[in-house]
Amino acid sequence: MTVTATSVDESDQLEPQAAPVSRLARLARLVPAAVAALSGVLLYVSFPPRTLWWLALPAFACFAWVLRGRSWKAGLGLGYLFGLGFLLPLLVWTGVEVGPGPWIALVVAEAVFVALVGAGITAVSKLPAWPVWAAALWIAGEAVRARVPFHGFPWGKIAFGQADGVFLPLAAVGGTPVLGFGVVLCGFGLYEIVRLVLEGRRTRVVQRSAATVALLSVAVPVVGAVAARSLVSDKAEDGTTTVAVIQGNVPRAGLEFNAQRRAVLDYHVKETLRLAAKVKAGKVAKPDVVLWPENSSDVDPFADAQAYTDIDAAAKAIGAPISVGGVVERDGKLYNEQILWDPVKGPTDTYDKRQIQPFGEYLPMRSLLGAINKNWTSMVRQDFSRGTKPGVFTMNGAKIGLVTCYEAAFDWAVRSEVTDGAQLISVPSNNATFDRSEMTYQQLAMSRVRAVEHSRTVTVPVTSGVSAIIMPDGKITQKTGMFVADSLVQKVPLRSSETPATKLGILPEIALVLVAAGGLGWAIGAGVRRRRAGDV
C-alpha cells in the first residue's frame, strides 16, 4: 500500500511540471516566425517618409538569424512572413480608394517572391561566404518581381529606401541592383559577425575564413559607397536651364477627381498664369522650361477646342514651352501622353507612357474579372495603350527626358531617356488618387535615387504634391506641400556624361542573378552529395 501511494504521489508531482515545459517549447517554436514578421516591419520602417534607412541593416541581420541552417520549407514560410511584415504596411496606399481587397491581394501575391528567396537563402546559408550568395538571391528575387506578372511591380526595391543613406552613391556604380545588393550584404554580414563572435566565445575557436568574409561583407559596401561619391556631381556640363514646376492641385482627393477634368486643367492654367504675373513683376526669374504633371489635362486638347485655347494661352503668357500631361485618344486608342506645347507653334511633339499600370490604366484578364464582379471592369472602362519610344523633348535648347509616374520604378524606363540624350529628367505624376498616404514620399525617394544613378537633375511635377526639384546628388532643393497650388522655379545644371550605371545598364543585375544561380546550384549539388553519402 505504501509503495502504491508513493507511486501515485510521484506521478501527481511529475504531471504539473511537464505541462509548462511543453508550453514553453511550443512558444519557442513561434519565436522565429515572430522575428521574421517583425523584421519585415522593421524593413518597412526604414523606408520614406522616415529617414531611418539604417534600420534595413538590422532587419536583414534578423532575417538571416531566422533563416540560417533551416530547411527550405521553413525558409519558405519564414520568408513569406518577412514579406508580409514588409509589404503589408508599405503598400497600404494601394487600398486608399478601392478598399482593402486589392491591397491584400497584391501583398499576398508579392510576398510569394520573398518566400522563394527565403527558401533559397536557407540553402545557400550552409555554403562558405554565404552572405554573398544570400544577398545576390535577394536581388534576383527583386529582378523577377520587377518583371512578372503583368510586366512586374518593382515597388519596395531595397534601393528605394536608401535615398537618405550612406550607400546611395552605389546607385551610380550599378543602379538599383548594386545599391540594394550592398545594403542586403551589409545586413547579412553584420549578423555573421555577431554569430562568429558568440560562437568564438563558446568554443574559443575563430573561423578565420568565415570571419574575413563577414568583415568584408560589411566593409566593402561602405568603402565602395564612399569611393563612389566621386561619381556624383552637380557640375553643369552643358550649361544651365531655369525650370518651372507647376502644381495646380485638384478639387478634392480621390478617384472621383477624374470626373472634374476641366477643373484640374483650369487649376494648372491659373497657376501658370499666376507664375507669369510674378515673372512680369520681377519677383521670380523667367523660366526656360515649364513642366506640368501627369493628368494635368485629362481633357483631350486635340479634341476639345477650349482646352487647346486655354493651354495655348498659358504657354503664350509664360513665354516658354510647356510639357503638358494629357489623356489623348488617337485612332480609337487611349494614351497617357506628355505634349510639348510651344508658345508660338502650339503642340509640336508627344511622348506616350510605355510602362502603364495594371488594374489602374489597363485591366488584365478583363473578361474573367468582369465575370466575377462587373464593378471591377467599370473602374477601368477602356484600357490605355502603350507607347513604344523614349520621350526626350528639346525645350529651349535643353533635352528633357520624360518618365511618367509609375515608370520611375522601372530601371529600363529611366535609363532609356538618358541614353537617348536627356540632360535632365522630369517625372510628371498624379498622386491625387492616393490622398495623403506615404505613396508620394516613396515615389519621391525613387526619383532621388534616379538622380544619383544617372547624375541628372530630376524634377517631379505632381498634380497635388509633393512636387520637387532634385539635384544630381539626390538632394531636394525645393518642394511643395500636399494639396496646395504652387510653383517652383530654379536654375539647374544640364549634364550629358554617363555614370557607370548608365553605361552598364542591365549587366550588373544579370551578374548578380548569375551569382545567385551559381550559389543555389552549388548548395543543391552539395545537398544531393550529402544525401548520397548518407545512403552509403
Catalytic residue annotation: 294, 353, 405
Q: Sheet holding 346-352: strands in order across? A: 346-352, 333-342, 322-330, 289-291, 240-247, 486-493
Closest CA to 429 of 460, 471, 383: 460
> What are the backbone dihedrals phi and psi of residue 51, each rounded to the nearest 5 degrees, phi first?
-110, 35
Q: Percent helix, strand and coil across the chain, each rounded to 5? A: 55, 15, 30
Three-class SS string for 119-140? HHHHHHCCCCCHHHHHHHHHHH
Integer CA distances (angstroms), 378 to 213, 370, 381, 452, in order = 55, 9, 5, 40
CA dihedral 448, 450, 453, 458 (to 10 degrees): -80
Angle at 432 between CA 294 and CA 153, to 5 degrees: 75
**What CA–CA distance (Å, rounded) separates 240 from 194?**
50
Which cell goes with 56? Answer: 534595413
Which cell goes with 72? Answer: 527550405
Q: Is 311 helix (H, G, I), strand (E, B) or coil?
A: helix
Q: Residue 336: phi, psi to the nearest 5?
A: -90, 105
Cell of 351: 511622348
User: Contact 499/453 with Cβ under 8 angstroms?
Assistant: yes
Q: Report CA-CA distances (Å) from 451 to 97, 135, 309.
A: 31, 24, 35
Q: At what angle do helices 56-67 and 72-90 cross, to 10 degrees?
A: 150
Distance CA 132, CA 520 (A): 12
Cβ–Cβ < 8 Å for 499, 455: yes
CA distance 472 to 268: 27
> Residue 248: which of 268, 266, 262, 265 has the closest Cα?
268
Q: Say if residues 310 and 279 touch (Cβ distance below 8 Å).
A: no
**Paired residues of 486 in beta bridges:** 247
DSSP state of 385: P
